[in-house]
Amino acid sequence: MLVFWRTIVLALWLPVLAGTMACASEGKGIVYVSEEDGNAEIYVVDPESGDSYAVDSRPSSTESSPRWSPDGTYIAFVSGEPGNLHIAVASSDGKEPVRRLASSEGTASAGNQESPRWDADGGQIAYVTDMDGHSDVYVASHNIGDGEPGSPVRISSGDTEEFLGDWSPDGQWLVFSRRGGEEAQGLWLRNPAGVNLFQLTSGNDLAPVWSPDGDAIAFVRNVDGNRDIYLLLPEDDDDWRGPVKVEPLIASPEADHSPAWAPDGDTLVYVSERNGNPEIYVVETDDDNPPLRLTTNEAEDSQPVWSPDGKHIAFVSDLHGEGEIFVMDADGSNQQRLTHNDARDHSPDW
């Protein structure tokens, strides 16, 4: 899914007076968005039992884009109403109030904040803000344990649009894509301190995701209206500041998108529309074997995410209506439906 980057900010926590998280079952489970009660809310489902619980029960809040912290103790998500969306964080044990991020001045930022992303150690969150019709990128450290905020650092400037990116596994770099003219577009790299800006590509490139070992970046390139998946590799060992190689990985007459790395760093799951509707595939990036198709039906299958051990894949399927959460083994076998309602369930994270 392609998501706009606008302002990326990290800042202090403000407790939300109403709404705390229900006690979690053992293990992280799969967090997702459900519109079961007529309002988009965050839930967690146990992939073995199918039991689920709501993360935040405030009735007036619309929620989206849930993300587990790396250690599974917190969930970051978007909460609020269009025009005033903010990033909220809930603890997985329910012992802390749901909290929200605020600007460095101590008041909630105006505009829409979206797409939270944790860095590898859980000390920083990047997110998207569309504020005052202008896009800037910020990063700030935050220690969740002591609640002390970090000072936001401006990462980007100008009148271009920044799109969703990813943290490097070691937390030293942030990769993002940019639009705003031939000279500005492409993938860019900058460290969280706001220095050392490097342009990696100059194409119509989107949705970069870093491999777990830090050796490659998978991304989507849009050429003449068709999206394909490419790999970006540094020519000099692991030094991303020098020359890089761009290699096509998946190309078909129809769209290929939504790449996600397996924990082993060798396999990508992605969505392809080459057979007329979105289906889920996997491909090994270190050999010449053809992609393996995992889902085969007339429904739309999308939003694949890996389990932490790399043995399973959760995804969304419209097979039974609006969209339900499914899980399958990494080879496409043993597909099971986890959610059962007439509403739309989507945006899983594991």
Mean pLDDT of 59-84: 88
Specify the pLDDT at position 103.
55
pLDDT at 25 over 70: no
End-to-end Cα distance, the chain: 16
Distance CA 139, CA 137 (A): 7
| Burial zone of 106 (CB within 10 Å; 0-12 exposed, 13-18 middle, 19+ buried) | exposed
Q: What pLDDT band is residue 87 in, cutting at 50, 70 and 90?
A: confident
Highest mean pLDDT among 25-29, 239-243, 313-317: 313-317
Specify the pLDDT at position 104.
41
| Burial zone of 126 (CB within 10 Å; 0-12 exposed, 13-18 middle, 19+ buried) | buried
pLDDT: is 338 or 162 the higher one? Answer: 338
CB 146, CB 3: distance < 8 Å? no
Identify the CA nearest to 274 among candidates 259, 255, 301. Answer: 255
Q: pLDDT for 199-211, tens place per residue?
A: 999 999 999 999 9
pLDDT: is 231 or 24 the higher one? Answer: 231
Alpha carbons within 13 angstroms on the beta-carbon side of residue 225 total 0
The token pair at 342 is: 């007439």
| Burial zone of 83 (CB within 10 Å; 0-12 exposed, 13-18 middle, 19+ buried) | exposed
Highest mean pLDDT among 117-131, 168-182, 201-215: 201-215
Q: pLDDT for 284-324, tens place per residue?
A: 999 889 999 999 988 999 999 999 999 999 999 999 888 99
The token pair at 213 is: 């070992």
pLDDT: is 174 or 348 the higher one? Answer: 348
pLDDT at 100 over 60: yes
